Amino acid sequence: MDQLGIHYNFWIVLLSFVVAVAASYSAFNLLSQADGSSPFSRRLWLLTASCVLGSGIWAMHYIGIMAGELPFKVTYHAGGALLSILTSIVFSYLSLSLLVSSRPRLGQIMAGGALLCIAIAGMHYIGMSSLNMKAHLHYNLLSQGIAVLLALFASWLGLFLFSRSKAQAGFSRWRLFASVFLGFAVTGLHYTSVRISHMGYVGADGIHSSFMQTDAILLIGVSLVTLFMFVISGSAVFLDRHVLERMAYHDPLTGLPNRHGLERYFEDEFLANRYGSVFFVDLDRFKAINDTLGHDIGDMLLEEAARRLLKLRQEDGRGRVFRLGGDEFLIAIPGCGREEAKEEALRILSEVKRPYRIEGNELYVTASIGISLSPTHGMDRSSLMKAADTALYTSKDSGKNKFSIFDQEMNRHQVRRMSLEKDLRKALARSEFMVVYQPKWDSLLNVTVGLEALLRWRHPEYGIVSPAEFIPIAEETGLIVPITYWMLHEVCSQNMLWHKESIAEVAVSINMSAKMFETDDLYEVVEEALSRSGLPPHYLELEITESIAMNNMEETVAQLSKLRSLGVRVSLDDFGTGFSSLGNLDEIPVNTLKIDQVFIRKSKMHSKKAIISNIIAIAGNLNMDVVAEGVETPEQIELLQSLGCRVMQGYYYGRPMAVSELGRWFSENAQAAG
């Protein structure tokens, strides 16, 4: 037996190397798409990458065979060729499956390299055994083992370099270096193994009929497999760039870029500018439209709002519009300073509030805007978005349909608000709430005729927190419901204690949140509080606002009527400042109208005096009691008495007092009356 010298066509050898490198790079590129995908998509990307890599290894081998010039004719066994490509694909799949995780460990890389070497070596030796030629191949185990070890080392190195570039999008030089090393592993093993093999020449025999004479067929087969490899790879890249990328980076409803698109825009474009502005835009009253007219109308409204915002940017020729979810949009405008940002915000507000005509409905919405400026408020996307979001909250809190530019005071307010929200969740369990009571005074008889129970929060760090600060947080989070339940039991028990001790026998009123009427058990909770305390129902009064009365009026009236039948009193608070219609007032089961303190404070104005007079007349005609809030001066008392209002509440008669202080107040007033 002799070591047979084989002459190679350089260009075909180079082609085989290029095919191996291209297949490796394509496979790595496809495998990178698996990061962050669903389990099904991850398996699909893995299978596609394995087919490309396995086909590339197989194609390189048979191109390498065709590159050699042998002194005898070579044919191929079809079954062996098929087995070789299956071996290559299967072990490529097993190898790459160890690298699917976002950060493969060294052990996974080592095992993956070993499996990939099996794919390369298995493909090579099965492929060589499928040759039908006038010679027998004989391998030296030591020299072949060295060739396999070199392929193993190159595979390890290739996979290690790939792991460094796995998370990178687009072209990566590390991925290219990894592909070159895999190309060396595949081609190196093939050409080295063939070169160091011994061939025993056996003379000219006919070709056995069970073998296919496949020079032309093999060339066609290799060409088709190579074409298949590049079609699969190209199709996957096209799908990723044009379909999956659009799905990943764009909002399906409006077609605007989404949060992922926002991240890419900031990294690639916005932050490259010296300065710019970020606008957080939130539609006011969108939820009400969604709830009343349905989500389909709501979606159409969002699409139209998106078109209007996009049109503004197209007219200006700068910046991008993004939809972050729900009714929230973000606009980023590079090269936009503070004064220009104010003008742009006014344009947005004006454009958004124009009427929307959708499916026969004429809809009106406004927008609230929060603005942050780069680099003043941050040098990165996260800081600018946080600042704009904080400014947005300020716009909403100050009445909506406005814009606010972020400042540090807003930030302190937001930090405090978040701290209060966190602590509010624990306040009830820690017994940090207390109830104070403000008297209602009959100015003619000079006696207390009622009390209003008011909630206070003794915060362990901030001291007494104003209800104006923590009640809105409790409303938003829904914590107002368990807090009101606790307050009902507390007030009923305390009032019953005053009755037993003969301190006072008056009705105590409690403010009700709209959230309480959204529950199904308000009647049961009130009944339980009265039952546990033993308090007669007419000594409990529930105060509601006009907005509560008018929101889902039929359901609210039904609940109030049920409570009235129990004997509980109901008063309408802040009358004249809400949304109620006089035409519906007689339908609401109310015992008392409370005149809002804004009218009392400005009672010297003729117009306010006229409003107060009309409210008192309305209450009298509807057989309702009337209470004036915010009374602080003798002049106000004199005016109210002249208009026919005798029951008053305010600092003139008594501030909100704790239980211990109120006990002394009752005693002092009883002595004065006596």
Domain CATH for 549: 3.20.20.450
User: Rounded to an integer, what distance in angstroms lies between the CA atom of residue 488 and that of residue 526?
Assistant: 7
End-to-end CA distance of the chain: 134
Which tens digits make up the pLDDT trace of 270-323? 888 889 999 999 999 888 888 778 888 999 999 999 999 999 998 888 889 999
In this structure, are 492 and 402 located in the same domain? no
pLDDT exceeds 60 at position 234: no
> For 405-414, 570-579, 640-649, which range has the lowest pLDDT when averaged over its residues?
570-579
State the Cα angle at 73 between 71 and 76, rounded to 5°: 135
Which pLDDT belongs to residue 227? 58
Mean pLDDT of the chain: 82
In this structure, are 185 and 276 located in the same domain? no
Q: Is residue 81 part of a domain?
A: yes
CB-count exposure of residue 626 (10 Å: 0-12, 13-18, 19+): buried
Q: In this structure, are residues 280 and 395 in contact, taking their beta carbons and an 8 Å threshold?
A: no
Which pLDDT belongs to residue 359? 87
Which tens digits make up the pLDDT trace of 243-275? 555 566 788 888 898 888 888 888 888 888 889
In this structure, are 470 and 336 located in the same domain? no
Which pLDDT belongs to residue 74? 62
Task: Output the 3-class SS for 474-527.
Answer: HHHHCCHHHHHHHHHHHHHHHHHHHHHCCCCCCEEEEECCHHHHHCCCHHHHHH
Q: Which two tokens stand for residue 348?
A: 């947005």
Q: Which two tokens stand for residue 659?
A: 């239980």
Which pLDDT belongs to residue 1? 37
Query: Whose CA is closest to 185, among 140, 120, 236?
Result: 120
3-state helix, strand, coil in the chain (%, to 5): 60, 20, 25
Domain that holds residue 368: 259-406
Between the alpha carbon of residue 589 and those of residues 97, 353, 520, 566, 586, the distances in Å are: 70, 37, 19, 13, 8
The pTM assigned to this predicted structure is 0.55
Query: What's the one-letter identity of residue 281?
Result: V
In this structure, are 397 and 423 located in the same domain? no
In this structure, are 508 and 388 located in the same domain? no
Q: Total domain count for the chain?
A: 3
H helices within 512-658, ranges in order? 514-518, 522-533, 546-550, 553-566, 582-585, 597-601, 606-621, 634-643
Q: In this structure, are residues 74 and 116 in contact, taking their beta carbons and an 8 Å threshold?
A: no
In this structure, are 396 and 427 located in the same domain? no
In this structure, are 432 and 507 located in the same domain? yes
Omega cis (within 30) before 656: no
Q: Is residue 207 part of a domain?
A: no
Which pLDDT belongs to residue 636? 92
User: Rounded to an integer, what distance in angstroms lies between the CA atom of residue 16 and that of residue 6?
Assistant: 16
Which tens digits make up the pLDDT trace of 388-420? 998 998 898 888 899 999 988 887 887 788 889
In this structure, are 445 and 585 located in the same domain? yes
Which one of 361, 381, 406 terminates a domain?
406
In this structure, are 390 and 433 located in the same domain? no
In this structure, are 136 and 219 located in the same domain? yes
Q: Is residue 625 part of a domain?
A: yes
Which one of 383, 406, 429 terminates a domain?
406
